[in-house]
Chains A and B, each alone.
Chain A
Amino acid sequence: MSGYVVACYAVTIGSLSAYSIWAMARLRAVNKRGPRQ
């Protein structure tokens, strides 16, 4: 398999995963501080 193809898939899936993990982590952190009143 060509290196370009591998890089293509890796970058795409990698960044999407990283972004979603980051978003989920931030959501968790914010919810932990809890809504007030």
Chain B
Amino acid sequence: MKSVRVLGALAVVTLTGTVVLGLGLPATYEQRTYSRMLALHPPLAWTAYVAFGVTAAASILYLWPRTRRARFDAVAAASAELGVLFTGLTLITGSLWGRPTWGVWWTWDARLTTTALMFVIYLGYLAQRGLADTAAARAKRSAMIAVMAVIVVPINHMSVEWWRTLHQGRSLASLKPGSELDGDFIAAMLLGFLAMTLTYVWLLVMRTKVIEAEADLEEDALADAIAARRQEALAT
């Protein structure tokens, strides 16, 4: 489909732009060369939030009888998978940033802990989707879990406010002109936000299609098998 291709192209372009801008950033005094990673890390985290939000929204639509469609279950599943991917990348990039900046690969401050929690919670969501079950039962159960699990997203976001913590405060809200982080840095990071969001949407569209197509194939295969058995029975 052409619009998907356009979307994909846009995603690739903005992502490339982010890389170029990000790697071309001047080293700031406070964070030296490592601020380059901040063109990627907050955008990845933000996109993970969006992904889990979409999972919850799609799940609610699925649970509401009037809007119950298999497509929403597919979107929920695909978005959760992407959310786990982006959360994993958030943790990894965060670790790579933390090691030179704070001296440790990991620390149990509020932000990191809640992010790790978010990761494990949705890993559990993906795990229970793998269980053998009818599609409808799995969809309903997954939807319930997704709606309950999304609570961790605002907890994560507010964790730097609620607990005194090593991690930076919510970056965009605390930007002031003339601080270490302005000008070129903001441009790179904002482009990063755009790039990650576009990438997420594009991957979501593709992944949802894969899920739906594979579900159709399964149905067709099942119908074929039943028809074949029937033929056998009639032939004998």
Contact = CB atoms under 8 A, between A and B. Distances in A.
Contact, chains A and B (beta carbon distance below 8 A): yes
Interface of A: 1-2, 4-5, 7-9, 11-13, 15-16, 19-20, 23-24, 26-27, 30-31, 33, 35-36
B93 A27 contact: no
B203 A19 contact: yes
A7 B209 CA distance: 32
Contacts of A27: 206, 209-210, 213
Given A4-B96, A27-B210, A20 B85 contact: no
B23 A1 contact: yes
Contacts of B93: 8, 11-12
Which residue among B8, B36, B40, B96 has the maximum number of chain A CB atoms within 10 Å of its CB? B96
Given A31-B213, A33-B217, A5 B92 contact: no
Contacts, number: 74
Interface string B90-129: 0011001101100000000000000000000000000000
Given A2-B34, A27-B210, A9 B40 contact: yes
B184 interface: no
B100 A13 contact: no
B101 to A, nearest CB: 9
Contact of B37 (A4, A13, A24, A30): A4
Given A11-B92, A19-B203, A5 B33 contact: yes
B53 interface: no
Nearest to B208: A23
B15 interface: yes
Contact of B100 (A4, A11, A20, A31): A4
B161 interface: no
**Residue of A5, A7, A12, A23 most packed against chain B (CB within 10 A):** A12
A31 to B, nearest CB: 7
B84 to A, nearest CB: 11
A14 B22 CA distance: 16
A2 B100 contact: yes
B159 interface: no
6 contacts: A1-B23, A4-B97, A20-B202, A20-B203, A23-B207, A31-B213
* Closest 8 A/B residue pairs (Cβ): A30-B213, A23-B206, A8-B37, A8-B96, A26-B210, A4-B96, A5-B36, A2-B33
